[in-house]
Amino acid sequence: MNDHARHEHHDFLNAVGQALADPPLQAALTRLTDTLLAGNRRAYAALAESDALRDHAKRIKEHTLAHLDQYLEQLEASVSRLGGHVHWATTAEDARRIVLEIAQNAGCKRVVKSKSMTTEEVHLNPAMEAAGLEVTETDFGEFIIQLAGERPSHLVAPAVHHTRESIARLLSEYTGDAMPDDPASLAQTGRRLLRDKFARADMGISGANFAVAETGTIVLVSNEGNARLTTTCPRVHVALMGIEKVIPRLIDLPVFLKLLARAATGQTLSVYTTLITGPRRPGEQDGPEEFHLVLLDNGRSRVLASPFRESLQCIRCGACLNACPVYRRIGGHAYGGVYSGPIGSILTPLYDSLSANPHLPHASSLCGACLTACPVKINIPHMLIGLRELQTRGKAKKSVLERLGYGLSAAVLRRPWLYQLALRAARMLLRPLARDGWLKRLPGPGSAWTTTRDFPAPAARSFRERWIELNK
Ligand code: SF4
């Protein structure tokens, strides 16, 4: 089993059923995604020439990915010049080993982490805990799901599936004191618990939203102060980032900063934007003594060389999740992987395997809402179709029924007279069964459609017939 394939036996359809039958989850998803999506639309509308800015961001990403090797080497040189250490991790296993070695060499015992999907991707926490380290997630949402032993269910709001009652219960179990479930008390409790962890930690682990090749600067974007505390309080800071997060120059950064918060939450800028350029220098008041940057491949080079390269442009804003009619109903856990929503439906099959995640490319209506919401205009629907095509090509043999169906439709579509005849036959057969323009039940293979939704009844007159009439 490869490292991405922790959820090889994930039963997508079963998980979808469970999510749909969970009213509190449905209410939480609607509340969150409605709010974030409205923010995204408002922010794009208020930003002058937002469309041109998004095109510009895309061009920077395209250019960077086309010269990724050069920019990564430049980043390594810049970080090393500042006194930092750069490590290359080909696989998730490499990344875990490297981080553990850094901890062991520096004699670290207590680790605080700021929110990082990349550390989730490599399953860092279980490895560190197994090695005897105390690991604490310090983003409040991440802390909650760590207590619950779960995975994040949204890129930006990892604990969206929790209510304040469930958060109070988890904190009560953790502290041994009964907690009231009002948000202010819960936040105060979280702050008190986490401040203590920061004060005692000797290692801080973060991700990186961006890394600037030119200057060796690591950029962290967050709404809680935890990322700053994580990267400045402990004496060792390790940043783990996917190799696609590099950007060429500092001047490119504002383009992404302008888009990221707007796309994610509708904010003009996140509350904290932290730029870290090397470890603490002589005379500085704070900052770590050691800084390590771990550059993770874990399948990205393979994706770079594939027709799915565009997926590497993702800046993990979560906007496509909020816009997607499928994610909005089923939430993040149903997807089974670390990444969820439309972009997760591409990343999980690519990084893990398509055969282990056969449902994901189909977890989309291809409505294009993700593309509209995406700050770098990633053509997610196009890539989902590409994955579907791979699945079909990969099939050794089609069933007799499939071959018959495709043969029949090809024969009909090639002959206009036969197509019209088939339409008339369908109209004659189906219209009497329709009610208010909809068919509630279709026979044979069509029943798979009508078990979950109605099917539109054929029109009384076809477009062609109406066109001929109009021309008369
Ligand atoms: S694909 Fe686009 S919208 Fe979705 S998370 Fe990535 S950058 Fe954001």
- Encode the chain (472 residues) as per-residue pLDDT tens digits: 344 444 445 689 999 999 999 998 999 999 999 999 999 999 999 998 999 999 999 999 999 999 999 999 999 999 999 999 999 999 999 999 999 999 999 999 999 999 999 999 999 999 999 999 999 999 999 999 999 999 888 888 888 888 889 999 999 999 998 888 898 999 999 999 999 999 999 999 999 999 999 999 999 999 988 999 999 999 999 999 999 999 999 999 999 999 999 999 999 999 999 999 999 999 988 899 999 999 999 999 999 999 999 999 999 999 999 999 999 999 999 999 899 999 999 999 999 889 899 999 999 999 999 999 999 999 999 999 999 999 888 666 778 888 898 899 999 999 999 999 999 999 999 999 899 999 998 888 888 889 888 999 999 888 888 999 999 8
Q: Ligand 1: does its nearest atom lie under 6 Å from the Cβ of 319?
A: yes
Distant-in-sequence, close-in-space partners of 317: CB < 8 Å, separation ≥ 6: 155, 156, 259, 260, 263, 264, 374, 375
Distance of CA 444 to the CA centre of its chain: 37
Say what the pLDDT of residue 394 is. Answer: 65
Q: Which atom of ligand 1 is nearest to the CA of 323?
A: 3
- What is the dihedral angle through the alpha carbons of 125, 128, 132, 136, rounded to the nearest 10 degrees? -40
CATH for the 46-301 domain, from 3.50.50.60, 3.40.50.10420, 3.10.129.10, 3.10.330.20: 3.40.50.10420
Tokens 């439709």 label which residue? 409
- 361 alpha carbon to ligand 1 midpoint, in Å? 16
- 24 alpha carbon to ligand 1 midpoint, in Å? 26
CB neighbours of residue 114 within 10 Å: 25
Distant-in-sequence, close-in-space partners of 125: CB < 8 Å, separation ≥ 6: 113, 119, 135, 137, 146
CA distance 379 to 342: 10
Three-state secondary-structure class, residue 344: helix
- 43 alpha carbon to ligand 1 midpoint, in Å? 16
- 315 alpha carbon to ligand 1 midpoint, in Å? 6
Q: Ligand 1: does its nearest atom lie under 6 Å from the Cβ of 115?
A: no
Q: Ligand 1: does its nearest atom lie under 6 Å from the Cβ of 259?
A: no
Nearest CA to ligand 1 atom 6: 314
pTM for the whole thing? 0.87
Q: Which atom of ligand 1 is nearest to the CA of 341?
A: 4
What residue spans in the chain does CATH classification 3.40.50.10420 cover?
46-301
- Cβ pair 311, 257 in contact under 8 A: no
Q: Ligand 1: does its nearest atom lie under 6 Å from the Cβ of 320?
A: yes
